């Protein structure tokens, strides 16, 4: 079944979508600028931006996924000799 729109309603529909998308693009640009400014301020205050981004990434994960990621990262680092395996000796 074909959808038939008259030219006037199609024009109105397209105009609404185009205007909404343009508005969202402007908001996206403003948000990106605000993020850059916030990271720049954090850097000026001595924070490590890469570590800050990693913390933000981990906060987005649920507890189980985060623990799995941390375990995997630890195992990889240990395998590459970046950290020593800890043994508990008395």
- The model's pLDDT over 10-59, given as tens digits with 9 standing for 90+, comes to 999 999 999 999 999 999 999 999 999 999 999 999 999 999 999 999 99
Same domain flag for 30 and 66: no
User: Computed from CA positions of residues 9, 12, 15, 19, in that sequence, does the dihedral angle turn out positive or negative?
Assistant: negative
At 69, list the tokens.
């990621």
Domain hosting 70: range is 49-90
Please tell me the distance from the alpha carbon of residue 39 to that of residue 17, in angstroms, as a whole number.
Answer: 33
pTM of the model: 0.68
67 HSE (CA, 13 A, CB side) = 3
Confidence at 7, pLDDT banded by 50, 70, 90: confident
H/E element, 64: helix 63-79
The total domain count for the chain is 2
Same domain flag for 38 and 78: no
């Amino acid at each position: 079944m074909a959808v038939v729109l008259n030219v006037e309603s199609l024009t109105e529909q397209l105009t609404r979508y185009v205007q909404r998308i343009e508005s969202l693009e402007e908001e996206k640009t403003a948000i990106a600028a605000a993020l850059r400014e916030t990271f720049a301020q954090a850097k000026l205050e001595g924070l490590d931006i890469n570590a800050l981004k990693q913390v933000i990434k981990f906060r987005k994960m649920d507890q189980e996924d985060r623990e799995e990621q941390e375990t995997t990262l630890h195992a990889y680092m240990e395998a590459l000799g970046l950290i020593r395996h800890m043994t508990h000796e008395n």
